[in-house]
C-alpha cells in the first residue's frame, strides 16, 4: 500500500516525484517485470532507505503520489445550481493535480503503463475507489434533488441505479479528458459538455 503523502515538505515531495519519474522512465525502457528497486534508486540518485520512506513498492513508485481530487467550489455549485447537468457537472467535480499536467511526457508514459499492466491497473483502480464513491454520493444527491424539483416520484432504488450509471459515464469522460491533456499538452483540456454534445445526435439510438 502506498504511504500517505500528507505532511510531506516541498523537498520530500520533490524527491518522491523524482523517484516516480525515474521508475516510469526505466519501466518504459526495460519493462515492468524486469525493473528493480535498486535500479530505480540508482537512476533517481537516492538510497533504498529514501525510496522506502516514500514508497512501499516499485509499483507504488510507478503510480506516483498525485491523484485527482474533488473541487469543493464545483461541488457546491453542482448541488446548489439546478441548471448544472447531472453528468457533465459530475465530470467537473474532479480536479487534476497541477503536477500531473506540468509533466505530460511522464504522465503519458505512466498512463500507458497503467493501461497495459493488470497489476498497476488494479492498484490504480483501488486508489481511485474512494474518490469514485464520493462522486457517486454527490450524483445521488443531485438526482434526488432533480426528482423532487420535477415533482416526479422516482423510486430510491431507481435513483441508486441512475447514480451508478452517471458515475460510470462520468469516470469514462474524466479518463478521456485526462488522455486529451497528455496527447496535446499545449491545448486546453476537452470540455465535458462539448464531449457530451458529440453524443446528442445519436443518443436516442444508444439507449
Opening angle at CA 33, ends 29 and 34, nearest 5: 60
| Prediction pTM value | 0.77
For residue 31, give the 3-state DSSP assignment.
Answer: coil
pLDDT digits (tens, 9 = 90+) for 142-185: 999 999 888 877 789 999 999 999 999 888 887 777 666 666 65
For residue 8, give the 3-state DSSP assignment.
Answer: coil
Q: Which domains does the chain have, with CATH numbers?
A: 10-63 (1.10.10.60), 69-199 (no CATH)
Total number of residues shown for the chain: 207
Nearest of 109, 15, 130, 122 to residue 67 by alpha carbon: 130
4: pLDDT strictly greater than 50? no
Residue carrying the nine cell digits 523524482: 18
Could you tell me the three cell numbers for 1? 500500500
Could you tell me the three cell numbers for 207? 439507449
Amino acid at each position: 500500500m502506498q504511504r500517505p503523502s500528507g505532511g510531506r515538505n516541498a523537498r520530500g515531495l520533490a524527491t518522491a516525484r523524482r523517484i516516480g519519474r525515474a521508475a516510469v522512465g526505466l519501466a518504459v525502457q526495460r519493462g515492468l517485470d524486469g525493473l528493480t528497486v535498486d535500479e530505480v534508486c540508482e537512476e533517481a540518485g537516492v538510497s533504498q532507505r529514501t525510496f522506502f520512506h516514500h514508497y512501499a513498492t516499485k509499483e507504488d513508485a510507478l503510480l506516483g503520489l498525485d491523484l485527482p481530487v474533488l473541487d469543493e467550489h464545483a461541488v457546491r455549485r453542482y448541488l446548489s445550481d439546478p441548471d448544472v447537468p447531472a453528468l457533465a457537472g459530475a465530470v467537473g467535480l474532479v480536479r487534476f493535480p497541477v503536477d500531473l499536467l506540468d509533466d505530460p511526457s511522464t504522465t503519458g508514459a505512466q498512463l500507458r503503463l497503467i493501461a497495459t499492466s493488470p497489476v498497476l491497473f488494479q492498484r490504480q483502480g483501488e486508489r481511485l475507489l474512494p474518490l469514485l464513491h464520493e462522486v457517486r454520493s454527490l450524483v445521488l444527491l443531485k438526482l434526488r434533488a432533480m426528482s423532487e424539483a420535477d415533482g416526479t416520484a422516482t423510486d430510491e432504488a431507481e435513483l441508486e441505479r441512475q447514480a451508478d450509471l452517471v458515475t460510470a459515464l462520468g469516470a469514462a469522460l474524466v479518463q478521456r479528458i485526462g488522455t486529451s491533456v497528455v496527447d496535446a499538452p499545449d491545448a486546453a483540456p476537452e470540455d465535458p459538455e462539448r464531449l457530451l454534445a458529440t453524443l446528442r445526435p445519436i443518443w436516442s439510438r444508444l439507449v
